Amino acid sequence: MRWLIERFGSLLAPASRRFYTALEQPQQAQQAVQQRLVKRLRACEYGQALGIEDCTDWHRLPIVNYEDLQPWIWGSNPSSDQPSGLDSQVLTGTAPSIGRSPLTPEPILFYEPTSGSSGPVKYIPYTRSLRRAFNHLFCVWAYDLITQGPPFSTGKLYFSISPTLSDVSQRDNGTTDDSDYLDPWLRWLLRTFWVTSPPSRTVEAFKENLARTLLQTEALEIISIWSPSFLTAQLHYIQTHRQRLQAALQHQLSATRSRLLDSTQISWTDLWPQLKFISCWDSVTAADGASGLRSQFPGVFVQGKGLLATEAPMTLPLVAAQGCVPLLDEIFFEFEDDQGRYHPLHDLQLGQTYRVIISQTGGLYRYRMGDRVRVTHTFLATPCLQFVGRHQDVSDLVGEKLHIQFVSDCLDQLQLPATCFQCLAPVRQPTDHYVLLLDRCDRDVRAIATQLERALCESFHYRLARQLDQLAPVRVLVSNTLVEQLATTKAQSGQCWGDIKHPRLITNCLTEMNVF
């Protein structure tokens, strides 16, 4: 099988060579991407409405959030006097119609749902060109692993961006499989290596099907997931249900592999003796989880992912770069510093932190991602970017991406007294979960927790994280000393007492307060 892997690598080599050429000339590469985007803008209603003719008009494009583009995504020019029906579509959770869009001259293939900033769901338009950008990232990344990574021999790959479940995703016309992010020709080539589990309608069925699939794949070499907690939860499922799985698979497993399931603590490296590589998030809130996987799989190369979002592929890890490089030949980048100044990619300073703004071929132009990156070093002539966290208004333990406005709306639904201190906080111990902090309450806290959990589950990614057991249920804690304890904790971290504020969402984990 090694010869087939090498042959596959040779097919990916041209994409890698083009990408390395771009890394040697980042300014020229970004100018070429900008020119392609301007050509699209000239041919669509959005660009025409803003008077975009060439790259000198780039400043006419406003820097936007999803809510700014939402009317355009639903096919309505905000300056038009015609009613769009947008409010009813948003309230009912209806996805926009595929086909023509005022944001791009290219047809929309599908809309992919993800968590919204101030609402439950936002729908991201996908075109063939945007899918090719994801495809390009995968090709460059795969070629780097084949040539610079572990010596793969089977190529068996389990690859998951997010599981597709009919009762969870409510995707309408979105992706039905993770391979939908890739072009058909690449899906066809990967069919020999891809490890897939049967379609599932419920979370429990998904876990069961995936457990059986992985247990039957003795030759598994590569696992690519998003959050390390996803794999940890799946391993826990196998450990917990090992006897039932052993009985169900008695004719599909060898005697040796079957005996491994007898152990009260399964040896994962013995279960998958050829596993060589795990790709997952490993920064900020995912750092501990990735370290846990490294300890559970000694000898396996656990590589941190680059910055990848539903909106766009942004950075990718390269073994040779010893870090993450931007996908500069597909995505146009701008970076905002702490003083509100904007910088092109080639102008970034070593050690500085910036907020990411992207423009891509799906119809998102000068779009705030909400991600912050730090320039760690330079590879060839291009800055390497390390993800250091989301915007301060977002809490993100395992990919749930709770925004302060959405959380505030959820808390308003509880109809607690306006004078009551209310704050939702992420907590890591004993397992990842959220706690609603109240200074007083005359209602049943269990009922409040149930109501809040229902409201938070309106967020696509929070609901998914809960149903995959990456997050435990929300808790409610009532104490009349909470405000004082929070203030003390913040003061000890260096904040001045007079500057301390208590937002309705805390975005850094609380682990040292006595109340926990």
User: What confidence score (pLDDT) does residue 190 get?
Assistant: 84
- Is it the case that residue 394 has pLDDT exceeding 90? no
What is the rounded distance in angstroms from the CA atom of residue 63 to the CA atom of residue 59?
Answer: 9
User: What confidence score (pLDDT) does residue 228 get?
Assistant: 87
Domain limits, CATH 3.40.50, in the chain: 130-304
User: What confidence score (pLDDT) does residue 490 get?
Assistant: 53
* Residue in the structure block whose two tokens are 């007083």: 440
Q: How confident is the model at residue 166 (pLDDT cuts 50, 70, 90)?
A: low
The mean pLDDT value for 434-457 works out to 91
Q: What mean pLDDT is reported for the chain?
A: 85
- Is it the case that residue 198 has pLDDT exceeding 90? no
| Residues paired with 157 in a beta bridge | 194, 222
Residue 75, SS3 per DSSP: coil
Residues 6+ apart with CB under 8 A from 119: 90, 406
What is the rounded distance in angstroms from the CA atom of residue 193 to the CA atom of residue 277?
Answer: 14
Which uninterrupted H or E stretch holds 23? Answer: helix 2-24
Domain limits, CATH 3.30.300, in the chain: 394-499
Q: How confident is the model at residue 192 (pLDDT cuts 50, 70, 90)?
A: confident
- Is it the case that residue 20 has pLDDT exceeding 60? yes
- Is it the case that residue 82 has pLDDT exceeding 80? no
Lowest mean pLDDT among 30-34, 173-177, 383-387, 413-417: 173-177
Query: pLDDT tens across 319-362, in order?
Result: 999 999 999 999 999 999 988 899 999 999 999 999 999 999 99
- Is it the case that residue 167 has pLDDT exceeding 60? no
User: What confidence score (pLDDT) does residue 393 get?
Assistant: 74
Q: What is the token pair recorded at 117? A: 């900033």
What is the rounded distance in angstroms from the CA atom of residue 118 to the CA atom of residue 406?
Answer: 4
- What secondary structure letter does DSSP report for 430? S
- Give DSSP secondary structure letters for 309-328: -SS-B-EEEETTTTEEEE-T
- Give DSSP secondary structure letters for 100-139: EETTEEEEE-EEEEEE-SSSSEEEEEE-HHHHHHHHHHHH
The mean pLDDT value for 366-370 works out to 94
Lowest mean pLDDT among 369-378, 432-441, 498-507: 498-507
The mean pLDDT value for 68-80 works out to 77
Is 3.30.160 the CATH classification of the domain at 130-304?
A: no
User: What confidence score (pLDDT) does residue 311 get?
Assistant: 93
Q: Please tell me the CATH code under which domain 394-499 is placed.
A: 3.30.300
- Is it the case that residue 105 has pLDDT exceeding 50? yes
User: What confidence score (pLDDT) does residue 64 get?
Assistant: 95
User: What confidence score (pLDDT) does residue 151 get?
Assistant: 94
The mean pLDDT value for 305-320 works out to 94
User: What confidence score (pLDDT) does residue 513 get?
Assistant: 45
- Is it the case that residue 412 has pLDDT exceeding 60? yes
- What secondary structure letter does DSSP report for 506? -
Query: pLDDT tens across 420-443, in order?
Result: 778 898 998 888 999 998 888 888
Q: How confident is the model at residue 98 (pLDDT cuts 50, 70, 90)?
A: confident
Query: pLDDT tens across 203-249, in order?
Result: 888 889 999 999 999 999 999 988 888 898 899 999 999 999 999 99
- Is it the case that residue 103 has pLDDT exceeding 70? yes
Task: List Cβ<8 Å contacts ≥24 apart for 162-165.
Answer: 162/226, 162/464, 163/200, 163/206, 163/210, 163/464, 163/468, 164/199, 165/200, 165/201, 165/202, 165/203, 165/206, 165/467
User: What confidence score (pLDDT) does residue 381 get?
Assistant: 96
What are the angstrom distances between the C-alpha of 329 and each of 24, 132, 193, 316, 504? Answer: 11, 12, 28, 12, 40
Query: pLDDT tens across 41-70, in order?
Result: 999 999 999 999 999 999 999 999 998 998
User: What confidence score (pLDDT) does residue 91 get?
Assistant: 40
- Is it the case that residue 10 has pLDDT exceeding 70? yes
